[in-house]
Chain A
Amino acid sequence: MALSDTGTARRPIGLEGDAFSRWLSQHSPTLLLGLLLVLLPAAATDFVLDQIVGWTLVLGMIALSLMFLAGYGGMVSLVQMTVAGLAGYSITVLGASSLPSISLFWPWWVAAPLAILIAVAFGTLAGALSARTEGIYTIMITLALASAFFYLTLQNWSIFNGFNGFTSVPAPIFLGVNWKSPVPLYYLILFCAGLSYVAVLYVSRAPFGIALQGARDNPRRMEAIGFNVMAHRIAAYAFAAVIAAVGGILLVWLNNQISPGTAGIQATIDLLVIAVVGGLGHPIGAFIGAFIYVILRTFALDALVAVGLDGRRFQTIIGLGFLVIVLFSPDGVIGIWRRWLARAASSRRGIGR
């Protein structure tokens, strides 16, 4: 697949010699970024914490689950936003909301795992359905499933409360901390996002991830050497669904509401845009894409008006930007970055010679 030929599988896996310092130098940008994010609440306002960085991390997590399937599995699944939405709806219906006629008000430690379980079951089932067909069919089938869920939430009033959705879905209070307030919520999101990032990196280098990438590149050959390609793909869907489900619950807690638009067709497509713009070659791409998207969404309106254009043409900007990336840098922003690094390195070598 053209979009994902920069997979991480080719990197050296074993660490020899002065392992720790090499690991440190190899990962210094990631570690620096992590440190920055941990220290951020000391400097940033609540708006930046929740609306910019919080949103970036949550959308990044959901995009990460799409990146995992598309980048390592070669399956562009558009159902990941729906998995997140289903988890969000589940925790609203099982837990607390402003609608006592629908919500069951179970404690969070029952509602959250159940919500994740429901969403993962759905994600796995959707995966099992679409993994039966090859390649480009996946997009069609998952897009149809995602739209089905959107129209269901729009039409159904008995469970999903139709067009209105739910408001006042608070994050719970546990361990003596009110997770609704900005800083604790930020750390909760940061923890989950960091964990899922590391998990995806780990799985991509574990035997399962390597086999999945093998199935992406040559399913027939993998089948011939004894791998059950179908099972690997469905397991990948299940793993991705866990990340998307956690992201969906955090999205509801962050947003304090959920409505059909949360997992609507537009949101589904935006998620694909995020993942592709960031780049499907490395897990960090999902977060980079989410950051660009959130920045654009937050500031593009004002910026467009400032240069004398109609602020409502935000979607055109998103669409054109997406087209430019797909047409000129199919491996996303990461690809641009990598090519730039390679060019810098080669020109340095040229000077040295």
Chain B
Amino acid sequence: MATALGDEGTARGARRGDALGRWINHHPLAALSLAVIVIFCLWLILAPWPQGFEDWFGRKRLFINALFNGITLGGLYFLVAAGFTLIFGLMRNVNLAHGSLYLFGGYMGYEAGVWTGSWLLSFVVAFLCCAIVGAAMQILIFRRMEGQDLRQTLVTLGLSIVFADLMVWVWGGNAIQIDTPDYLTGPVPTPIVVALKPSGDAIFLQYPRVRLVIFAAAVLIGIGMWLALHRTRIGMMIRAGVDDRDMLSVLGYRVQLLFVLVFAFGAGLAGMAGIVGGTFQSISLGEDSHFLLASLVVVIVGGMGSIPGAALGALIIGLSEQFGLVYFQNYATVATFVIMVVVLALRPQGLLGRR
């Protein structure tokens, strides 16, 4: 059955004569195995598993939960990493304080939530607070040392040390959980069969509503960023700046203003991600380096300065973390880094990166 579908795909692709069809014609074996893998994955997700397979591989409920957790975690990682990769792509600034901005956004969002009682409003507050800090960093510090990559990076490192310590001072070392608003609490039924009752009825997966909503929001933000980058004037300027900053500035565009805007936006995204992280898990001391690290790995795997790359990298890293947690606890993070090392060895510029 798999073979038949694969062949059918080849034929259809060839008739259309598009890029996919050409690729399939040139690599029939690769296309066939890809089709088999896709069908196998669809079967894994949609069909109830036979008893023997469950005995060997573990319960389906675990697998599906890891899958959903991985994808939604990928959404969170994308929110953090998108700003990071945008800032790096445009300004060549490895912002090692990005994790601190994430944490700061989480704390500010928590405070705003406590004061106003509105979860949505806290996103605005976190975005604004982090955007202001980010813009201040760009205007006060990085503007003075343009073109000195290493020095800028060292400054962000020093800032992250100071920020981390100041945040411990203000908010202490305890984990803070941001409450999910009432209209988003509770599970949502999904049409995915997890198991069969002895009577033969299917048990469907119930998944937390808030995680699905946030994932949808992350996807929307990603699409929005892509559209803004490819369909607007500012986006065009940013893409031109990524390719050749000096040329853009010679042409008379206000590159410095662009830098401040992008830095503020990237920092603001990290701040909003802080609230998401505080709702998904919790925010505490040490989360800054965790998310800094996550964004590093995401952009290394996905490709520096590329938004689709950040999305792909975030998905891969989110999935590998969650599956690692379920299937090999002792080496969960190692799986993530094996992926990173393999990508670096085969494609040093990242999966979707350009040289």
Contacts and interface: CB of A to CB of B under 8 A. Distances in A.
B297 A144 contact: yes
A240 to B, nearest CB: 18
A69 to B, nearest CB: 13
A139 interface: yes
A316 B166 contact: yes
Contacts of A1: 150
A307 to B, nearest CB: 17
A135 interface: yes
B47 interface: no
A133 B343 CA distance: 12
Contact of A326 (B154, B165, B289, B332): B154
B150 A269 contact: no
Contacts of A152: 331, 333-334
A231 B160 CA distance: 34
B153 interface: yes
B330 interface: yes
B344 A141 contact: yes
Interface string A306-332: 000010111110111011001100100
A134 B148 CA distance: 14
Given A315-B161, A319-B161, A147 B153 contact: no
Interface in B299-339: 299-300, 304, 329-334, 336-337
Nearest to B154: A326
A327 B155 contact: yes
A136 B156 CA distance: 13
Contact of B150 (A136, A147, A327): A136
B9 interface: no
A235 to B, nearest CB: 19
A143 B293 contact: yes
A126 to B, nearest CB: 9
A25 interface: no
A276 interface: yes
A323 B158 contact: yes
Contacts of B148: 2
Given A316-B165, A319-B159, A319-B162, A276 B154 contact: yes
Interface stretch (A111-119, A153-161, A202-210): A153-161
A129 B340 CA distance: 10
Nearest to B337: A148
A48 interface: no
B157 interface: yes
A76 B345 CA distance: 19
A43 to B, nearest CB: 35
A327 B142 CA distance: 10
A145 interface: yes
Contact of B161 (A76, A135, A151, A269): A269
B333 A330 contact: no
Contact of A144 (B160, B296, B349): B296
B56 interface: no
B108 to A, nearest CB: 20
Interface in A102-133: 129-130, 132-133
Interface of B: 92, 94, 96, 141, 148-151, 153-155, 157-162, 164-166, 168-169, 289, 293, 296-297, 299-300, 304, 329-334, 336-337, 340-341, 344-345, 348-349
18 contacts: A76-B150, A132-B345, A133-B348, A136-B153, A139-B153, A143-B296, A145-B337, A155-B329, A155-B331, A158-B330, A272-B154, A273-B161, A315-B165, A316-B165, A316-B169, A326-B151, A326-B158, A327-B141
Given A141-B300, A269-B157, A326-B151, 14 more contacts: A2-B148, A130-B344, A133-B344, A136-B92, A136-B94, A136-B153, A148-B334, A155-B333, A157-B330, A312-B169, A315-B161, A319-B160, A319-B161, A319-B165
Interface of A: 1-3, 76, 129-130, 132-133, 135-137, 139-141, 143-145, 147-148, 151-152, 155-158, 265, 269, 272-273, 276, 310, 312-316, 318-320, 322-323, 326-327, 330
The 9 residue pairs across chains A and B that have the minimum distance between CB atoms: A319-B161, A319-B162, A148-B337, A323-B158, A315-B165, A151-B333, A322-B158, A136-B149, A316-B165
